[in-house]
Amino acid sequence: MSLQALPLPSQQANRDLFFKLAFAFGVVIAGLEIGYLVKSPLPFDAAGYVIGRDFVNAWLGGKVALSGDPSPYFEYTAYQRLLAEHFGPNYPIHIWSYPPHLLLLTWPLGLMPYMTAYIVYCVLGLILYVAVASDGSRKPEHLVLLVIAPAVTVNIWCGQNGFLIAVLLIGALTQMDRRPVLAGILFGLLSIKPQLGLLIPLMLLLTGRWRVIGSAAVTIAVLVATTAIAFGAEVWTTYVRDALPIQRIHTFSGVQNFMLHMPTPFMNAKIAGLPMAACIAVQAVISAATLAAVIWTFWRRRDPTLSMALFVTAIFTVTPYAFNYDMVVFGWVIVKLMDRADNEPLDYALMLAVWATPALTVVLGMTGFLPISSLALIVFGARLWWRMAHKPGFGKERFDEAA
């Protein structure tokens, strides 16, 4: 390492302060979650959800997949009856919103009792996430932040698939050049949450990663065909006919619990009470700016760490449909950025804001007059773009077509 790359004492102090604040905030959020559970009438929480909340979808999905024909439960009322059958009458509403090929991954969960499956799901997911996100690093501070991230606590609390999404996305982004076929497979598997993959084809095309594109396309085709063979071709038509309309209703009708977990400009505008046209306009402006930033970033070679950080951020700002528990992947972004010698106090402040966003999304949304959870991501992305635009030595070369 050159002397120029070594952090100055003031930079090291900023980095240490960031770590302490990030760690403290993570501990507080984890403590609040533990306290909430201690006060809950287990195995249900105070709101009437079984512990793990959305994990009921993964678990029930596994059980209906084992039945051989999950398609009837894509229909709203049939799914509510299934929930009531397993968790009691008047159980809070859930919807099935995932493409059918997720069932190829979750069916083993249906072989276990609910709480056993939930614990296995969380523990195994956390281990895989830390292993992939650390990418061989054994720095204690990195490992601690990956585990204690507020997004991790939120994901466990919600019983969601943030660990799986992070593993697939980080694995794909880090393997694009080393193992392009593997990267394509991981991108293909990420199609279980297609709204988070809108920018992936664009980035791959701009960087000329044709083997990754081919591998991803084949993977998606195999997943679709395998799902049709396993459960019948009607599983796809039923999903489109019954599940997607309900998902659209929940997205646009303003279901409060749904919106409070979504740090997107569209949802922030809805919580603020803006008309639908204004909400769409706000999201359209941010989405267009995001698209332009991604094209600029990958049109030429930029700083690799900053460009990947911007790309992950763009995934969340380009879409109106993203959740706070999906932000587990930002643990990887933060630990990749925190040791850079060119970080300024503003960079650490923005990293801390993004770090806190998964937990603060609900709090800010509940205030009604302060639904600004998407602001941290927008400003963070803009700052990453500014840093790349002012970084010498990058932006002069195109990507190799053989990459």
Return the percent helix, strand and coil in the chain, to nearest 5: 75, 0, 25
Classify residue 3: in a domain, yes or no: no
For residue 50, give the DSSP letter: B
Contact in structure between 198 and 169 (CB atoms under 8 Å): no
pLDDT at 350: 97
Q: Which parts of 39-149 fold into alpha helices (H)?
A: 55-67, 76-87, 103-106, 114-134, 140-148
- Contact in structure between 23 and 335 (CB atoms under 8 Å): no
Alpha-carbon gap, residue 212 to 222, rounded angstroms: 15
pLDDT at 394: 67
1 part of a folded domain? no
Q: What is the DSSP letter of 319?
A: -
pLDDT score recorded for residue 46: 83
> Is there a contact between 350 and 265 (Cβ–Cβ < 8 Å)?
no
Are the beta carbons of 143 and 335 closer than 8 angstroms? no
Run of H or E including 97: none
Domain contains 45: yes
- AA letter at 389: A
Total domain count for the chain? 1
Residues with pLDDT less than 70, the chain? 1-9, 251-258, 365-370, 393-403
Amino acid at 344: E
- Please name the amino acid found at residue 147: V
Residue 346 belongs to a domain: yes
- Assign 3-class secondary structure to 373-393: HHHHHHHHHHHHHHHHHCCCC
- Return the SS3 of 307: helix
Q: What's the pLDDT at 271? A: 85
Calpha distance 209→199 (Å, rounded): 14
In a domain, 4, yes or no: no
Torsion region of 260: left, alpha or beta (phi above 0 gives left; psi -120 to 50 gives alpha): alpha
pLDDT of residue 386: 96
Query: Quick one: pLDDT at residue 361?
Result: 84
Any idea of the CA torsion for 348, 270, 385, 25, to the nearest 10 degrees?
10
Strand segments, DSSP code E, in 194-281 are: none
Question: Structure pTM?
Answer: 0.92
- Closest residue by Cα to residue 70 from 121, 104, 112: 104
Q: Which domain holds residue 296?
A: 9-389
Is residue 339 included in any domain, yes or no? yes
Contact 316, 285 (CB under 8 A): no
Please state the φ and ψ torsions of residue 175, each to the nearest 5 degrees: -105, 5
Residue 125 lies in a domain: yes
Give a yes or no: residue 398 inside a domain: no
